Chain A
Amino acid sequence: MPSSNENGALTRPHVGLFVTCLVDLFRPNVGFAAVKLLEDAGCTLSVPEMQTCCGQPAYNSGDATNARDIARQVIAAFEEFDYVVGPSGSCMGMIRAHYPEMFPTDALWRGRAARLAEKSYELLSFLRDVLGVECVHARYEETVTYHDSCSGLREMGIKAQPRALLGQVNGLTLNEMNESEVCCGFGGTFCVKYPKISERMVADKVQSITESDATTLLGGDLGCLLNMAGRLKREKSRVKVYHAAEVLAGLTDLPPIGDPK
């Protein structure tokens, strides 16, 4: 049995890493950053093979049946761990806020979903709020700006934690953009179902990023970052894009999102 420290947090917790589908497919470096940050903070880490996606695309498209099936799969794969942690406020918000409401007539699964929800966290807020991480050992000599992804911000209360951690990175300066809390226009399948509206939203966001005079854009959700990076590239911007975890873990040798090797 793991023991607890005075905050009640487990001292060497066994964490199941929920990689998230986009990190798995597009940016494994974010996954490795999460592994490093969690291991440095004293976690024992496992990456269950039986994970694909949290089911949000189905859930938000109104396909409750498939969403439930996928939720059951995630619950079964992760319920053995002390915590479930993923580098995305959106996916972890799905597990934490929505899994329990997906089984209104099934008490057994509702209970399992609720128990999983309780111990599920987004990476940066987990490091800060649960593990009490005060400092990180990383250097990044750039002026960055931080986009608050919507689900993380509003479903998980992620706002101060990434900024506190980034404040520990040597050489890093944070320039807040205007309207950092406004949606970038990604919205999962929204961006391909309503491309014109999404385009306007991401163009507005890119304008805010540009006006911040930052040389790097950071965020905590790869979906939003792919969207904003893609638009920055389309507008021939030289702003670099990384997931905040990559910077915090010092894993910025890899070219930024959307840049060539």
Chain B
Amino acid sequence: MSAARERVLANIRTALNRTGPLADSVTAVLDARLENPRANVKPAVDGEVVQQFLSKLESVHGAVVRVATMEKVSEAVDAHLQQNALSPELVVAPDPLLEDIPWSNRFAIERRAAKGDDRVSVTAAFAGIAETGTLVLLSGAESPTTLNFLPEDHIVVLKVERIVTHMEDAWARLRKERAKMPRTVNLITGPSKTADVEQTIQEGAHGPRRLRVILVG
């Protein structure tokens, strides 16, 4: 243990009028608070959650297209490419959900982490949060984080049953479905932007210029 660590902790305890660590009886209560996290105030979400998710996402300039089945994803991706005059080269996250898609032969697909000059990535979302139109993406072997940031166009496939109401609901799912926290959890709400030049909003700062969500189901 470093001397600085002991010094900082001792200073904190002095400031809190204590001579040492908290008593075990107190830490037991605090540990219980950590182990059973409680939601605090959750804003009311009006109306139907999927609709709310879509309208919130669109309000932050996320483009959304809804398709009925996974089979239709390839078509939706193609439409996005054509709409933005992009060449059919995709880096697709090595996610089983995406691998099962019958991709059009038109695409040249690579499954890997991103490189600096990749144009279009396709990844799968862990959840969508209706409250704010936010996507939740987890890092892992099937979902390299760089795909969320380096390409110019980021296409995210989200199954409709993965939409939750509040951020807290996403955490509950995360705890339930994953044994431990992934290295990275990305909450993404719209395409990259900056207002650092005279407070003028400009999209496509360092991250993707366009965010396209394909909602399935």
Is A in direct contact with B (CB under 8 Å) within the complex?
no
Residues of B within 8 A of A (CB): none
